[in-house]
């Protein structure tokens, strides 16, 4: 009777498959690590020099939000672009809100700015986080998304860090794991260094 082939693998074939799986796993984990380090440890090239002159509407107070809202306010400001229509934005917002609340203890203001969105959709989405909104957080709405090109953004989520004199200090592209301690450390390090440099400059003049 003629054999049509065996469904059993030899020891060498099994060993090859195991090695291939391990190598693939190692390469993938190395790739993910490089992406994470790229977001967290390497400051991107900052084309934007200072906060642009933009306009947004406060979702709750109905007051106009502009760059003047944040001038000389606390240590600095984080501007976070998102939208209820953006799945990655929705997934990362809880961790970003947690970070925002913690930064409030260090006198950092946060603007969570919904773009290309509707007020009703934003309010409905934010209801899940309760009524106890952090005092240092503003929820803005840019219905037409006109602020995006002013900041140099083409997609969301993106987050910008500014000093209290509105100088652009850092940018976070894409969704982040905001609960990781390195984010808070990095933000406060940049803000504190800027304040220290400003104080030293004043004292020497």
Mean pLDDT across 138-158: 95
CA distance 92 to 183: 14
**Per-residue model confidence (pLDDT) at position 26:** 57
In degrees and rounded to multiples of 5, residue 41 shows phi and psi of -100, -20
**Residue % of the chain over a pLDDT of 90:** 66
Question: To the nearest whole number, what is the mean pLDDT of the chain?
Answer: 84
pLDDT of residue 22: 65
Burial 16-54 (b: 16+ CB within 10 A, else e): eeeeeeeeeeeeeeeeeeeeeeebbeeeeeeeeeebbeb
Confidence tier at 1 by pLDDT (50, 70, 90): very low
Q: Encode pLDDT of 117-145 as tens digits.
A: 999 999 999 988 877 788 999 999 999 99
Which CATH code for domain 48-203? 3.40.30.10
| 3-state secondary structure at position 15 | helix
pLDDT in tens, 59-78: 999 999 999 999 999 999 99
Query: What's the pLDDT band for 2 if we cut at 50, 70, 90?
Result: very low
For residue 33, give the H/E element and its range: helix 11-40
DSSP E strand stretches across 20-136: 56-58, 64-65, 76-82, 108-115
How are beta strands 158-163 and 76-82 bridged, if at all?
A: antiparallel
> pTM value?
0.75
| Nearest CA-CA partner of 110 in 162, 148, 68 | 162
pLDDT digits (tens, 9 = 90+) for 30-53: 444 444 444 444 445 568 899 999
């Amino acid at each position: 009777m003629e054999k049509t082939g065996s469904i059993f693998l030899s020891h060498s074939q099994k060993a090859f498959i195991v090695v291939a799986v391990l190598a693939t796993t190692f390469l993938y984990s190395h790739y993910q690590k490089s992406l994470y380090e790229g977001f967290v440890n390497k400051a991107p090239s900052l084309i934007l020099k200072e906060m642009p002159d933009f306009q947004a509407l406060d979702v709750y107070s109905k007051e106009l939000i502009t760059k003047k809202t944040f001038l000389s306010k606390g240590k600095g400001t984080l501007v976070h672009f998102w939208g209820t229509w953006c799945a990655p934005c929705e997934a990362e917002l809880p961790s970003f809100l947690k970070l925002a609340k913690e930064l409030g203890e260090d006198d950092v203001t946060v603007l969570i700015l919904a773009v290309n969105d509707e007020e009703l959709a934003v309010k409905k989405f934010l209801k899940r986080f309760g009524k106890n909104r952090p005092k240092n957080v503003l929820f803005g709405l840019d219905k037409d998304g006109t602020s995006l090109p002013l900041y140099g953004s083409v997609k969301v989520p993106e987050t910008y860090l500014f000093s209290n004199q509105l100088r652009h200090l850092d940018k976070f592209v894409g969704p982040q794991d905001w609960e990781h301690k390195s984010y808070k450390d990095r933000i406060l390090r940049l803000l504190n260094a800027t304040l220290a440099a400003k104080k030293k400059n004043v004292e020497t003049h």
